[in-house]
Amino acid sequence: MTKEQIYAEAVEVLRTRRRNAQQEQEQRTDRIRQEIPETAELDRQLRAVCGSILSAIGRPDNKERLKQIEQHTKAADAMLRNLLTAKGYPADYLDVHYTCQRCDDTGFVGGRPCVCLKQEIGRISAEQFNVRSQLVLCSFADFSLDYYRDLPPEQFHAMEQNLAVCKAYAESFSPERSGSLLMSGNTGLGKTHLSLAIANALLQRGVHVIYDSIGSLLHILEQEHFGRGDSDSDTLSTVLDCDLLILDDFGTEFRTSFSRSMIYTILNSRMNAGKPMIVNTNLTLGEIREEYGDRVVSRLISASQMLAFYGRDIRIQKSLRRSAGQGG
């Protein structure tokens, strides 16, 4: 999907939202007119006032006349709201309830794109990206601590804490206030599972989450950079602007001057903008420093809470348990 198509889809979403809000208001109005006939007369008076406003424009006494019209309008509106509350309805029951109070679901404020339009563009971009990366979500309920119970007590406690930290991170996540997480440990210890559980919880709340392995992401960025991909795509902007970026398998990518430069650009840009990330790696900090240099390690450590993962490859443990069950 091109940038133009994403923009057009976002605008259409807001148009539909605005149209639905107006239709719902009309349905509420019809209902109230049947239940409270007096409201029809008040509505007629308000419409007449609107006509008077138009006719007053340009008249010598328009200021005084407009003041009287305004007073009459406020009185009629107050009577209408009193009728509604007396019948058990909210005072604003007959107002149009737009989702975005800033732009009334038009997508624009003062000729500039509203925050809600930008958010909708981000949501669609993230959705398209995650479809391309074949995102498969997990849940916290599926994360079992049983696979870590034979660890030394301090390591088992660390895994308990990792689970608790990730749950709390998902529950309290804020694109403006949340920090980043750096999950490190050998393959198959649950880093990806907990990252995707966070993604699952946040996507259900409408948070714009991008997930991909570092190798796959860099491949897409390289194709676009050198003109071998979708010329209308702008993956880098999506990656830099999303609410939460999850980079899996950090350190497994094919290392080139482009990949090193792009990795630093992503880390530096997001951290300078205060945008959170989750980075999963099999490397130690020493190995990260050796592969990427001090500036990458410095950016990761300064902005991230570090979670160390322990244990034996869960996939192997599951396979052994299945084999033991079949053998029995």
Domain boundary among the residues 61, 79, 114 is at 114
End-of-domain residue from the set 80, 114, 148: 114
Residues 217 and 285 in one domain: yes
Residues 169 and 300 in one domain: yes
Whether 150 and 295 map to the same domain: the answer is: yes
CB atoms within 10 A of CB 213: 18
- Quick count: other Cβ atoms within 10 Å of Cβ 301? 13
**157 and 284 housed in the same domain:** yes
85 lies in the same domain as 198: no
Q: How many CB atoms lie under 10 A from the CB of residue 243?
A: 21
75 in any annotated domain:
yes
> Looking at this protein, which amino acid is placed at residue 199?
A
Asked if the structure places residue 328 within a domain, the reply is no
Q: What letter represents residue 89's amino acid?
A: Y
- pTM for the model stands at 0.67
Least Cα distance to 182 among 248, 270, 253 occurs for: 248
Instruction: For 31-80, give the DSSP string.
Output: HHHHH-THHHHHHHHHHHHHHHHHHHTT-TTHHHHHHHHHHHHHHHHHHH
Dihedral sign for Cα atoms in the order 17, 18, 22, 28: positive
Domain count, the chain: 2
For the chain, how far is it from start to end, CA to CA, in angstroms? Answer: 52
177 and 53 in a common domain = no
Is residue 196 assigned to a domain? yes
Region of 58 on the Ramachandran plot (φ > 0 left; ψ -120 to 50 alpha; else beta): left
In a domain, residue 324? The reply is no
* CATH number for the domain that contains residue 264: 3.40.50.300
Q: Do residues 259 and 295 share a domain? A: yes
- Determine the Cα–Cα distance for residues 29 and 50; give it in Å rounded to an integer: 18
Q: Supply φ then ψ for residue 245, to 5 degrees.
A: -110, 125
Tell me how far CA of residue 80 lies from CA of 33, 48, 149, 218, 219, in angstroms: 11, 15, 66, 60, 62
The answer to whether 208 and 10 are in contact (CB under 8 A) is no
327 has a pLDDT exceeding 50:
no
Is residue 300 in a domain? yes
Which run of H or E residues covers position 169? helix 153-171
Whether the CB-CB separation of 170 and 137 falls below 8 Å is answered with no
Evaluate if residue 298 carries a pLDDT over 90. no
Same domain, yes or no: 161 and 98: no
Does residue 297 contact residue 288 with C-beta atoms inside 8 Å? yes
pLDDT interval class at 152 (50, 70, 90): very high
**328 band by pLDDT with thresholds 50, 70 and 90:** very low
91 and 146 housed in the same domain: no
Is residue 45 located within the same domain as residue 181? no
| Inside any domain, residue 322 | no
Residue 99's alpha-carbon distances to 27, 116, 122, 175, 257, in angstroms, are: 17, 9, 17, 20, 46
Count of residues in the chain: 328
The mean of the pLDDT values for the chain is 85
For the segment 211-266, what is each residue's pLDDT rounded down to a tens digit?
889 998 999 898 888 876 554 457 888 899 889 999 999 988 888 889 888 998 99
pLDDT above 90 coverage of the chain, percent: 38
Residue 121 resides in a domain:
no
Q: Do 197 and 61 share a structural domain?
A: no
Local confidence band at 306 (pLDDT 50, 70, 90 cut-offs): very high
Q: Are residues 264 and 196 in the same domain?
A: yes
Structural domain for 300, as ranges: 133-312
Q: How confident is the model at residue 315 (pLDDT cuts 50, 70, 90)?
A: confident
| Alpha carbon distance 39, 41 (integer Å) | 5
Q: Is residue 321 part of a domain?
A: no
Per-residue model confidence as pLDDT tens digits over 13-67:
999 999 999 999 999 988 888 888 887 777 777 766 666 665 655 555 567 766 7
